[in-house]
Amino acid sequence: MRIVSIVGARPQFIKLAPMAHAFAQLEVEHKIIHTGQHYDVDMSDAFFQDLQIPDPDLHLGVGSGSHGVQTGGILAALDPVFTEMAPDCVLVYGDTNSTLAGALAAVKLHIGLVHLEAGLRSFNRRMPEEHNRVLTDHAADLCLAPTEVAMQHLTREGLGERAVMVGDVMVDVCYQVRDMVAQDSQPIEGVADDEPFLLATIHRAENTDDPQRLAAILEKLAHLAVPVVLAAHPRLRSRAAEFDLSLTAGKLRPVAPLAYPDMVRAVVRSKGVVTDSGGLQKEAFLLGVPCTTLRTETEWVETLENGWNVLDPDLSRVNDEALRPVPAAERGAPYGNGHAAMAAAEAIVSHWS
Ligand code: UD1
Neighbours of 212 (CB within 10 A): 8
**Cα 343 versus chain centre, distance:** 20
Q: Are residues 22 and 150 in the same domain?
A: yes
- Tens-of-pLDDT digits for all 353 residues of the chain? 999 999 999 999 999 999 999 999 999 999 999 999 999 999 999 999 999 999 999 999 999 999 999 999 999 999 999 999 999 999 999 999 999 999 999 999 999 999 999 999 999 999 999 999 999 999 999 999 999 999 999 999 999 999 999 999 999 999 999 999 988 889 999 999 889 999 999 999 999 999 999 999 999 999 999 999 999 999 999 999 999 999 999 999 999 999 999 999 999 999 999 999 999 999 999 999 999 999 999 999 999 999 999 999 999 999 999 999 999 988 899 999 899 999 999 999 999 98
The answer to whether the CB of 290 falls within 8 A of the CB of 326 is yes
Q: Are residues 238 and 186 in the same domain?
A: yes
The answer to whether the CB of 92 falls within 8 A of the CB of 111 is no
Q: Are residues 8 and 123 in the same domain?
A: yes
Alpha-carbon dihedral sign for residues 35, 38, 39, 42: negative
The answer to whether the CB of 267 falls within 8 A of the CB of 242 is no
CATH for 228: 3.40.50.2000
Q: pTM score, two decimals?
A: 0.96
Helix (H, G, I), strand (E, B) or coil at 30: strand
Helix (H) or strand (E) holding 89: strand 89-93
State whether the beta carbon of 129 lies less than 6 angstroms from ligand 1.
yes
The answer to whether residue 41 sits within a structural domain is yes
- The CA-atom distances, in angstroms, between 162 and each of 19, 82, 93, 346 are 20, 23, 16, 15
The answer to whether residue 173 sits within a structural domain is no
Residue 203 annotated to the active site: yes
Q: Are residues 195 and 92 in the same domain?
A: no
- Tell me whether residue 179 is exposed, middle or buried, using C-beta atoms within 10 angstroms of its C-beta: 0 to 12, 13 to 18, 19 or more: exposed
d(CA 85, CA 78): 10
- Give the list of residues 6+ apart from residue 156 with CB closer than 8 angstroms, or none: none
The answer to whether residue 330 sits within a structural domain is no
Helix (H) or strand (E) holding 252: strand 252-255
Q: Are residues 55 and 97 in the same domain?
A: yes
Atom of ligand 1 nearest to the CA of 99: 15
The answer to whether residue 326 sits within a structural domain is no
Q: Are residues 50 and 99 in the same domain?
A: yes
For 268-327, the DSSP string reads HHSSEEEE--HHHHHHHHHTT--EEE-SS--S-GGGGGGGSEEE-TTSSSHHHHTTPPPP
State whether the beta carbon of 131 lies less than 6 angstroms from ligand 1.
no
Q: Are residues 204 and 137 in the same domain?
A: no
- Give the list of residues 6+ apart from residue 32 with CB closer than 8 angstroms, or none: 4, 5, 7, 16, 20, 53, 54, 55, 56, 57, 58
pLDDT tens readout for residues 124-171 = 999 999 999 999 999 999 999 999 999 999 999 999 999 999 999 999
pLDDT tens readout for residues 44-62 = 999 999 999 999 999 999 9
Q: Are residues 147 and 273 in the same domain?
A: no
DSSP state of 151: H
The answer to whether residue 61 sits within a structural domain is yes
State whether the beta carbon of 37 lies less than 6 angstroms from ligand 1.
yes
Q: Are residues 216 and 245 in the same domain?
A: yes
Question: Using N-to-C axis directions, what is the helix angle for 169-181 and 10-25, rounded to 10°?
Answer: 90
d(CA 138, CA 162): 10
Helix (H, G, I), strand (E, B) or coil at 163: strand
Can you name the residues that pair with 4 across neighbouring β-strands?
31, 90
State whether the beta carbon of 34 lies less than 6 angstroms from ligand 1.
no
State whether the beta carbon of 280 lies less than 6 angstroms from ligand 1.
no
Q: How many contiguous H segments (helices) and E segments (strands) does the chain have?
A: 14, 13
The Cβ-side half-sphere exposure at 289, using a 13 Å CA radius, reads: 29
Q: How far is the CA of 42 from the centre of ligand 1 (A)?
A: 13
d(CA 243, CA 226): 25
Q: Are residues 225 and 307 in the same domain?
A: yes
Residue from 10, 44, 60, 64 to probe ligand 1 pocket by mutation (most atoms less than 8 Å from CB): 64
Q: Are residues 159 and 287 in the same domain?
A: no
Q: Are residues 196 and 122 in the same domain?
A: no
Task: Give the chain's domain count.
Answer: 2
User: Residue 252's domain spans which residues?
Assistant: 179-321
